Structure 1
Amino acid sequence: MSRRTWQEISSGINKDYLSTLIKQHNVCTYRTKPCKNYLSITYKCSEYKKFPACSYQLKVKQHVDGTYQLYSSSCHNDQQRANSNRLLSPILDNIRQMTENGLTVVQIKKVMKVLHPDLFIDSKIKSAVEYKQQQNRCRIEFIEGLYSRYESPETFKIFFRGIQIWASAINNQAYTISHVMGDVAAGITGAMCELPLARRLMCWAHVIRKVRGRGTLIKNKDKFLLVEQDIKQLQLSFSDQIFVTAANLMNNKWKLDKDLEKFTDYFEQQ
């Protein structure tokens, strides 16, 4: 076995800078060895299990004065993956994406046979799809459980603050919520004070659901269908000015018909 050769790439560095370099070089601790005047720490490729042929290593000499010397040997080799029964990452990514887009197992299998005709992975595709669907169900159940159990103003205040903090951290710039869309839940209404500059919008699905739920206020079914059509047209407004003007005209038109009086009063209150 040939002896490793080491090349010095940095010296006199501090611990913080060393940590940054360790992350940049994608290595993990391999072994630590105390020497006479320093502590020797060897690092190897963080993905050595996935790429066993990768011989890349870093060596650090930690001196008593708190400084470090950094050496490297060889280079990263990610050309040859280890033998595994698992699906390759690119294939898994394709399956996850198609699952997110709503494709069924049968549809995904047909697509994969076109993309990878030489692979016999039907059972693995099914397992990967079922695993991803289970993850999605867990997320939905968690969110629904959070809202149904803690649907209070304080919960939504924490939620609104958290979104702005997380988004600001991820994007490295300040993020402020400008619009909030949902139903007329009292918890959301009570938490809007947390977002003084944000606009409150009603979700279209909730609007039309509530409209149809109050359809009994209009005895004439044909007139109710015309009212529903008016609301659908209003929803297509592409500016605030058009929306406000159209909404006023629509209400004024409804008020001319006594059969729509109760429904008009309900709609205005909402």
Structure 2
Amino acid sequence: MIRREWNFVEEFSNENDMKSFIKQNNVSIKQTETIALGKKVTYRCTQARKYPECNFQIRVIYYNDEKIAVSTSSERNHDNCASITRTPLPVTDIVKTSVAAGLTQSQTCRAVQNEYTSDVPSSKKKILIL
């Protein structure tokens, strides 16, 4: 496993400045842990589920002597959208047609299986039907 490389960005003296930096970078908390020097919080890109190749993270270390160090790792990569985030458009069309025709949930699932060649998770089909 390749070790993540962290690049020091800035040292903050108060938490409000650090929080505005976090907000500007569009990240959310991934992990929090207590360390000998204080507390370490790791944030990840809020788009990471939609773009699985995005490895952008921010690490904030709250030192016991009240200074706050911020580092980042890698660059954002939003080139390839994950194919599993949304139901494919042909499936959505099949479900809409089936619901408009008054088919039941199981009949609609069968229609999707018959008309769409790729595999669609059953959870996606049920969400569309409901």
Asked whether the 8 Å contact 1:87–1:124 carries over to 2, the reply is no
Partner of 1:54, secondary structure, is coil
> Looking at CA atoms only, which structure, 1 or 2, has the larger radius of gyration?
1
The residue correspondences of 1:183-262 to structure 2 (distance < 5 A) are none
Runs of 4+ in 1 over 6 A off after TM superposition: none
Asked whether the 8 Å contact 2:61–2:70 carries over to 1, the reply is yes
Deviation at 1:46, TM superposition (A): 0.8
From the superposition, tell whether residues 123 and 72 of structure 1 become closer, same or farther in structure 2 (CA, over 3 Å): same
Taking the aligned partners of 1:76 and 1:83, their CA distance within structure 2 comes to 18
User: Which residue in 1 is equivalent to 2:93?
Assistant: 123
RMSD: 2.4
Structure with greater proportional strand content? 2
User: Which residue in 2 is equivalent to 1:13?
Assistant: 13
User: Which residue in 1 is equivalent to 2:43?
Assistant: 43
Asked whether the 8 Å contact 1:38–1:63 carries over to 2, the reply is yes
Asked whether the 8 Å contact 2:50–2:85 carries over to 1, the reply is no
Structure 2 length as normaliser, TM-score? 0.65
Counterpart residue identity of residue 9, structure 1: V
Structure with greater proportional helix content? 1
The residue correspondences of 1:12-161 to structure 2 (distance < 5 A) are 12-84=12-84, 86=86, 120=90, 123=93, 126=96
Taking the aligned partners of 1:124 and 1:13, their CA distance within structure 2 comes to 56
Deviation at 1:67, TM superposition (A): 2.3
Identity %: 28
2:26 is aligned with 1:2: no
Taking the aligned partners of 1:79 and 1:121, their CA distance within structure 2 comes to 24
User: 1:245-268, CA deviations, whole angstroms, 9 ceiling, x for partnerless residues?
Assistant: xxxxxxxxxxxxxxxxxxxxxxxx
Q: Which has the bigger relative contact order, CA under 8 A and spacing at least 6?
A: 2
Structure 1 length as normaliser, TM-score? 0.33
From the superposition, tell whether residues 121 and 48 of structure 1 become closer, same or farther in structure 2 (CA, over 3 Å): same
Taking the aligned partners of 1:21 and 1:38, their CA distance within structure 2 comes to 20
Counterpart residue identity of residue 19, structure 1: K
